[in-house]
Amino acid sequence: MKKFIALIFIVSFSSIILAGTKGVLYIAENETPENLDPANATNSTVDQLLVGVYDTLVQFTAGETTVTPRIAKSWSVSNDGMKYTFNLRNDVLFHDGSSLTAEDVKFTLDRLVAAKGNTMNDLAFYKGAEVVDDYTISLLLESPFGPFISGLSRIYLINKDLVQSNLGDDNGRAWLAVNEAGSGPYKITKFKPTEEVVLEAFEPYWKGWSGNHVSKVVFVYISEPSTQLALLNSGDIHIAPDLTVDDKVGLRSKMGFKVDIGAAATPLYFQLNTQGKKIMQNPLFRKALVMSFDRGLHLKSVLQGFGNMPDGPLPSNWPGHKKGTELRFNLNSAKKIIKDNGWTGTRLLVRYLPAIEEEKRAVEQFQSNLAKIGITLDTEGMTWPTQAATVQKLETTSDINMIYNFPSFPDPHAILNTSFNGKLTGYNGGYNWSQYSNNKVDSLLNKAASSSDQKERANLYSQVQQLVGSDNVVITVSNPGSVVALSNKVEGYIYNVAHHQTFNYMDIGLK
């Protein structure tokens, strides 16, 4: 009898807990995930799966641009900005039932350093971790770094005991490629990238399950846009991110569906080689180039309106954005500059990724406009690694390179520093493909990086944009929206600026 009552109790208790989770969410994705290793979480196909499977110390909630506490309840920064001390929650369980402690945090970071995980690239100046007690840990830096906390949003905390026993001789890369060791709201119950990946709700999750959540998430890998559309229409899937622009336009007005245009922050640039051949080194010539691209037409015709009108290299709604730093489209002025200086007949080379439709169209427009003002633009389509290789040396860098900036977190540092710091030029191994090296800009950027006064930082970044604009270093082509087609049954989907091309499935419920 007692057993019977206990059984009823357990069943009803778990159904109360699970009362918060119901339904199976089907998400289509056109690119199969690389693997499951958190060290690769800078790759969106990996991040897409892991964002709800692992926990982090702090995290950006979808729709917000500052971090909020997660495993770290609170934290303090030392006066010199080189030591961050975190107080951890004591009620976090890993999926195998063990408790998450400071040891796991230290292990995570040590392992990432040893495995040379790409997610460490955003934690500039990280030196090491010190366990103070079971639920307190200090992270040490070599020098202060303003956005440090934001960079922790992709440091997925792994289960030390579990991973340690599977470390092998490659820092657990082989094991973590196909297994998970997380504590997040969902656990991976099936990982078959060629078919589907299934996640199921982890009942004892520390946050609880109030609100509407799904009990299962299934990622299906469908490379054909037309197939994604068909399945969305038939109700077999709920989220289709990879439809053609035309399909998305059509769905906007279709009953039962909605199209979400996440205000993305992944600007597309024409980076002008400031240390290239003589004419490219001339800011006046670059000025003419900047005025030769019609961003409005691109937004209307190529993106079909899905995006924001760019105003400078930083997205307009970000802290620290300064208006009007980049010159607008004015082909007549551009033509005049070219003519007056006898630059007609100049030949330039642009490199880009033809596999990306938007880049292709931008190049075509640019080429056509430049032809009208007497400049011949040669184009060279490449693959990503090949293009990246060409900018590693000054001699092999082309006059213009197209590149997106995918900031890991919504902080001006992530865009401005990555794209304009002289230490991160292409020939220094970074993404400043304009090979732009301006000492004043560098010192402003470095100062802003080590400051924690947000007002001061905004001011410094304003100046950076001003200088970059007057030097005509880049042409910001667009701020494309992250457009996702969804069934009306989905509620709670919000685009997360800190995790591009992912879905906040842990906050989504089905009607």
Partner 1 sequence: MFKIFNYLRNPIEIAAMSFIVLITLIALIGPLVAPHDPYEANFHNTFSAPSFEYIFGTDAAGRDVFSRVLFGAKLTLATTLFIIFIVSSIGIFIGIISALSGGIIDNLLMRFTDIWLGFPPLILALGFAASFGAGMKAAILALIFTWWPNYARLSRALIIETKDKEFILSAKAMGVSDLRIIFSHLIPNAFDVLFVQISLDVAAVILVISGLSFIGVGAQIPLAEWGAMIADGRSAMSKAWWVVFFPGLAILLTAISFNLIGDVLRRELDPNLSGNK
Partner 2 sequence: MPLAFIKNIFFYIGQRIILTIIALVVLSFITFSLSYIVPGDAALVAAGPNAGKVKIEQLRREMGLNLPFHEQYIIYFSKLSKGDLGKSWFTHQPILEDIKDLLPASTELVFFAMLFNILIAIPLGVLAATKRDTKTDLSIRILVMFGAGIPIFWLGLLLQHFLAGEAELFPIAGRLSFSNRNFESNSGFILIDSIVQGEWSVFVDSLWHIILPSFTLSVLFIAVITRTTRSTVMKALEEDFIILARSKGISEFRVIVKHALRNALVPTVTILGMQIGWMMGATVLVEEIFGRPGIGKYAVKAVTQSDIHAIVGVVLIVGVIFIISNLIVDIIHFFLNPRLRNS
DSSP 3-state assignment of 129? Answer: strand
**Residue of 428, 443, 470, 488 that binds partner 2 (CB under 8 A):** 428
Give the count of beta carbons closer than 10 Å to the beta carbon of residue 91. 10
For residues 418 and 314, is the Cβ–Cβ distance under 8 A?
A: no
Binding map of partner 2 across residues 351-390, x = CB under 8 A, - = no contact: ----x---------------------------xxxx-xxx
Contact of 68 with 501, CB cutoff 8 Å? no
DSSP codes joined into one string, 63-92? T-SS-EESSEEEEEE-TTS-EEEEEEPS--
- Choose, by CB under 8 A, the member of 21, 25, 35, 362 that binds partner 2: 35
Using an 8 Å Cβ cutoff, are 315 and 414 in contact?
no
List, in sequence order, every residue forming a beta bridge with 141; answer none if it has no partner: 126
Min dist CB 237 to partner 2, Å, is: 8
* Residues facing residue 196 across a β-bridge: 192, 220
Query: Which residue, among 482, 316, 308, has the nearest Cα to 415 in the 3D structure?
Result: 316
Residue 24 per-residue DSSP state: E
For partner 2, the binding residues in 338-357 under the rule CB under 8 A are 355
User: CB of 365: closest distance to partner 1 in angstroms?
Assistant: 5
Decide if residue 434 touches partner 2 (CB under 8 A).
Answer: no
Instruction: Report in angstroms how near the CB of residue 431 gets to partner 1 at its nearest.
Output: 21
Q: Are 408 and 122 in contact (CB under 8 A)?
A: yes
User: Minimum CB separation from partner 2 for residue 42, in Å?
Assistant: 6
Which residues would be at the binding site for partner 1 (CB under 8 A)?
A: 225, 244, 246, 294, 297-298, 300-302, 354-355, 357, 360-361, 363-365, 367-368, 371, 379-383, 386
236 contact, one of partner 1, partner 2, none, CB 5-8 Å limit per kind? partner 2
In whole angstroms, how far apart are CA 465 and each of 111, 153, 393?
A: 37, 26, 26
Name the minimum Å distance from CB 500 to partner 1.
Answer: 22
Look at residue 380 and give the partner it binds from partner 2, partner 1, none, a contact being a CB closer than 5 to 8 Å depending on partner kind: partner 1
| Cα 418 from Cα 406, distance rounded (Å) | 10
Does 231 bind partner 2 (CB under 8 A)? Our answer is yes
Out of partner 2, partner 1, none, what residue 317 binds, judged by CB under 5 to 8 A for its kind, is none
Given a contact cutoff of 8 angstroms between Cβ atoms, the answer to whether 260 and 487 are in contact is: no
Q: Does 177 bind partner 2 (CB under 8 A)?
A: yes
Please report, as ranges, the residues that interact with partner 2 according to CB under 8 A: 32, 34-35, 40, 42-43, 116, 118, 121-122, 177, 194-196, 220, 222-224, 226-227, 230-231, 236-237, 355, 383-386, 388-390, 392, 406, 418, 424, 428-431
